[in-house]
Structures are given as structure tokens and as C-alpha cells.
Amino acid sequence: MSDQRRQELDAAQLIYTKADWLDLLAKIATNSALS
């Protein structure tokens, strides 16, 4: 695997992880507001 391709995969993984975190935080905030 080339270095550039590896960097692209790392960047994509960071973006997905960030999106997962935002989704998780949103769920926590919603649960806190409801309870």
C-alpha cells in the first residue's frame, strides 16, 4: 500500500470517528433532556 493511500485512509477514519462521536454525544444529550 502506498504512503499516500495510507494517509487517505487515516484521514477518512478520523472523519468517521468524529461523526460517530457527534452521533453518540447527540444521543447522550437527547437522553439527558428526556430524563
Residue 22: alpha-carbon gap to chain centroid: 7
d(CA 32, CA 28): 6
**What's the predicted TM-score (pTM) here?**
0.58
pLDDT tens digits, one per residue of 11-30: 999 999 999 999 999 999 99
What value does the CA radius of gyration of the chain take, rounded to a whole number of Å?
15
pLDDT at 1 over 80: no
30 by Cβ neighbours in 10 Å (0-12 / 13-18 / 19+) ranks as: exposed
pLDDT at 35 over 90: no
Q: Which cell numbers hold the place of 33?
A: 433532556
